[in-house]
Amino acid sequence: MFDPRAALAVPVCLLVCISATAATKTPPDADVRTYVVDTLDVTADRPDPYDAIRELSTFATVHEIGDARGGVVSIADVLEEGAGVDVKRYGGLGAFSTASIRASSPAQVEIHLDGVPLRSPQWGVVNLSELPLSSVERVEVYRSGAPVGLGVAGIGGVINLVTRPAGEDLLGCSVSTGSHGTLGADVLKSGQLRSVGYLASFHHLRSEGDFTYVDHHGTPENTDDDAVVQRENNQFQQSGLFLRVAPPPFRGWQFEFSDDLFLKESGIPGIENVHIKSAHFDVLRNVLSGSLESPLLVGNALELRAMGFHHHQRDRFYNPDNEVGLSRSDTDNRSTATGVNLLGTLHWYRGSQLIRLFSELRDERFVPEDMNPNIGVGFTRKRRVSTLNAEDRVLLWGESLALVVGYHYQEAVDNYAGPVPFGGPPAPLDEPHWTVAHGPSLGLRWSPAPSLVVRANRARYGRFPTMLELFGANGYVVGNAELLPEEGTTTDVGFVLRSERPGVASSVLEAAVFLSERDDLITFLQNSQKSVKAFNLESARVSGLELSALCAWERGLELSVSYTLEEARNTGPSPIYHGKRIPYVPRDKLFVRTALATGRITFRHEYHFESGTYRDRANLPENMSPARHLHGVGARVELTEGLALDAQVQNIFDAAVADVEGYPLPGRTFYVTLKFAVGLS
């Protein structure tokens, strides 16, 4: 049940924001700022008499990462501050974590790094703990569609990490330490070298993760056997290197190249009452990309952008004591995604229109290798994904009303027909296997007053089955070549209201209601005693309300609030599960941050609330997890120009919290970070 304290906090915070009476002021210095946006989808800072036509009709949130680099902050920490977004963690710092938007599955959320898709073709999800932060300038979250230049949006929306541009005169570094043997370091340098812009950043983080928690020994209702134990095999260390190079433009044509390299080694600790001692996992990921942007062509009416990318990942799993899984041997799997895309933008001034066409061709491959010599290297799973998007933005009624009409088409061709008889391993297909997903999108953006923007959207998107769902894996996951894409239709409507009065404060309020209906959802079912198989069996209906507010006062006080109300229920054919709430989706979610800057010191407080959730599809009362109230405090001291000391305490009341499948989260933790950042002339 939603706690009255949290329920009271929402209207109080929103009323304070609406009644704010002051001028726009930069919020107090902090590592992360969150705001809603009107004009994000701008390809370049070029004069355009129809600039209003570029503005988004979709609901989007931007999390801006401050110039002061460092601190023990992850992408998961940033995302969970926004309305409509839910983050699930399989443990503490550095543990596997995923993002859900409007009660979607993590596989239904597309995640990009500077427009390059990161979703694994094999597993279908992105581990948030493996994403870079030290080089990131902002995180864009699109909850109801996305700019056409990002390709096709997922059923659950799109998250795009935008790194800093090359060529800025900036030097930043930080060193962090904290509870459970945590150590971190970040270095970032950007500038010009013989007229060539560059950006280079390095990140390293490690932790023992040996926090204590209550082990219920599989009997949460019986407290007699509870014991406080220390988390084992939860250590990790990860390093990342990011490089961007931007040569000077040649006759207006701009080229950029970037490379993101990431390496992580981590233990696998198991759930609350299952203690795994030795299993561990290594990840090596490299993302190469290059882009070419044209000047304005054909009478300053046409611009082109071409991009190429190569995403390579190697996952190595070690299971020396046969503690994990049905397949007891070690694995060494490799996956790649190589693609090219082209975006064309036509400015039709006479017709007050902005027309865009996007096409992409992507080749995905997955090569499994079982270290058991009787299994060895499996055949290469292949899939070619073709995408075509078209969008037309039309200005109506002067510049106050914009209509956005689009259509997207995707097809995937793979080389799998299903398992051979008697449950043998997967086999390649002689004839190609085709899968198609397509649908329209419609958006409306109306500005009846300078301070008010009304938005409405309706779109249908699909998700192709992952290679695991389609091809299976080593006999314990049986492939299903008959799988159809998951599909979903989302409708939302809402507004953004801004208040700016010189001398006191500024405020922004966003509200949206939405309805999402999802069909042909893929579910794994028991196929035999030791195998499972994916089927298109389920459907779901999700409705909700999203509220976001930001107030900044001239005297240095900032208040940020986000609230999400979601009703997510199963609408599938099974009488056992029909009408039941979707597991691990909280009905109410609230985040409140308060920051106060006084002189050289900035104080902050954060409050996270989630209502209780069911841990099973049948919604059994004994599987209801309790609501959580988490508080965190921090302070930042400006020691001298460019040098700051930041201290933070998370979960200050040491609340016992477990997330997905009973993975415990840490109690009270402390972190201290020394940061240095300066712009060089």
Q: Distance between CA atoms of 563 and 79, rounded to whole angstroms?
A: 13
| Per-residue pLDDT at 29 | 32
Q: Using one digit for the tens of pLDDT, what is the confidence trace for 487-534? A: 999 999 999 999 877 766 788 999 999 999 999 999 888 777 677 888
Residue 405 tokens read as 């009409």
Q: What is the DSSP letter of 448?
A: E
First to last CA, the chain: 56
Provide the pLDDT for residue 473: 77
For residue 482, what pLDDT band results from cuts at 50, 70 and 90?
Answer: confident
Q: Looking at mean pLDDT, say which of 67-76, 213-222, 479-488 comes out highest.
A: 479-488
Q: Which residues pair with 359 in a beta bridge?
A: 342, 388
User: How far is it, in rounded angstroms, from Cα 366 to Cα 467?
Assistant: 8
Instruction: Centre a 10 Å sphere on the Cβ of residue 209 and count the other Cβ atoms it contains.
Output: 25
Residue 335, pLDDT score: 95
How long a stretch of residues is the chain? 681
pLDDT value of residue 55: 63
| 153 burial level (CB within 10 Å; 0-12, 13-18, 19+) | buried
Bridge partners of residue 339, in order along the sequence: 309, 362
Helix (H) or strand (E) holding 68: none
pLDDT at site 273: 84
Average pLDDT over residues 200-204: 95
Residue 431 is predicted with a pLDDT of 63
Note down the domain range covering 617: 4-679
- Joined tokens for residue 80: 């969970």
pLDDT beyond 90 at 25? no
pLDDT (0 to 100) of residue 43: 35
CATH code, domain carrying 605 = 2.40.170.20
C-alpha distances in Å from residue 671, one per residue of 71, 80, 300, 391, 553? 8, 19, 52, 47, 28
* Residue type, position 648, single letter: Q
Q: Say how far apart CA 288 and CA 311 lie, in whole Å.
A: 6
Q: Is the pLDDT of residue 251 over 60?
A: yes
| From 46-60, 121-135, 412-426, 489-503, the region with the lowest mean pLDDT | 46-60
- pLDDT for 310 beyond 60: yes
Mean pLDDT value across the chain: 85
Report the pLDDT value the prediction gives residue 67, as an integer from 0 to 100: 45
Alpha carbon distance 293, 99 (integer Å): 31
Backbone phi and psi for residue 473, each to the nearest 5 degrees, phi listed first: -160, 110
In this predicted structure, the answer to whether residue 671 has a pLDDT above a threshold of 90 is yes
| CA separation for the pair 5, 609 (Å, rounded) | 10
Q: Which residue has the higher pLDDT, 658 or 265?
A: 265
Q: What is the mean pLDDT of residues 384-392?
A: 95
Q: Is the pLDDT of residue 110 over 60?
A: yes
Confidence of residue 12 (pLDDT cuts 50, 70, 90): very low
CA angle, 378 as apex, 375 and 383 as ends, to 5°? 160
Among 122, 91, 93, 94, residue whose Cα is nearest residue 107: 122
Find the mean pLDDT for residues 43-72: 58
Q: Which of 325-339, 387-401, 600-614 has the highest mean predicted lDDT (pLDDT)?
A: 600-614
Query: Residue 470's pLDDT band (boundaries 50, 70, 90)?
Result: confident
Cβ(603)–Cβ(632) under 8 Å? no
Q: What is the pLDDT of residue 222?
A: 78
With a CB cutoff of 8 Å and minimum separation 6, the contacts of 447 are: 52, 399, 400, 401, 453, 454
The residue with greater pLDDT, 299 or 254, is 254
Angle at 165 between CA 194 and CA 149, to 5 degrees: 130
Ramachandran bin of 281, using left for φ above 0, alpha for ψ from -120 to 50, beta for the remaining angles: beta
- Token pair, residue 240, equals 């990342």
Please say if the pLDDT value at position 363 is more than 80: yes
What is residue 485's DSSP assignment? P
Confidence band for 471, pLDDT divided at 50, 70 and 90: confident
Contact present, 556 and 504 (Cβ < 8 Å)? no
168-187: average pLDDT = 92
**What pLDDT shows up at residue 503?**
62
Higher model confidence: residue 590 or residue 44? 590
Of 674, 41, 112, 590, the C-alpha closest to 339 is: 112
The gap from C-alpha 338 to its chain's centroid, in whole angstroms, comes to 21
Q: Please state, in angstroms and rounded to a whole number, the distance separating the CA atoms of residues 95 and 123.
A: 17
Residue 1, pLDDT above cutoff 80: no
Give the 3-state secondary structure of 375-421.
Answer: CEECCCEEEEEEEEEEEEEEEECCCCEEEEEEEEEEEEEEEEEEECH
The answer to whether the CB of 507 falls within 8 A of the CB of 525 is no
Question: What are 646's strand-pairing partners?
Answer: 636, 673
Whether 53 and 352 have beta carbons less than 8 Å apart is answered as yes
The 10s digit of each residue's pLDDT in 585-607 is 999 999 999 999 998 999 999 99
Asked if residue 681 has pLDDT above 60, the reply is no
Longest dimension (CA), the chain: 79
- Average pLDDT, stretch 317-322? 87
Residue 551 pairs in a beta bridge with 507, 559
pLDDT in tens, 217-235: 877 777 778 889 999 999 9
pLDDT over 80 at 334, yes or no: yes
Between CA 126 and CA 121 the distance in angstroms is 10
Q: What is the average per-residue pLDDT within 145-174? A: 89
| SS3 of residue 481 by DSSP | coil
Structure tokens that stand for 114 in this block: 């500077």
pLDDT-derived band at 424 (thresholds 50, 70, 90) equals: low
**pLDDT computed for residue 45 by the predictor:** 37
Q: How many domains does the chain have?
A: 1
Percent of the chain residues topping a pLDDT of 90? 55
Q: Which two tokens stand for residue 404?
A: 């956005």
Per-residue pLDDT, averaged over 81-88, amounts to: 93
Contacts of 373 (CB under 8 A, 6+ apart): none
Query: 115-120, long-range: CB within 8 Å, 24+ apart, which pairs?
Result: 115/149, 115/150, 115/160, 115/289, 115/291, 115/307, 116/287, 116/289, 116/307, 116/309, 116/311, 117/151, 117/311, 117/337, 117/339, 117/362, 118/287, 118/311, 120/313, 120/335, 120/466
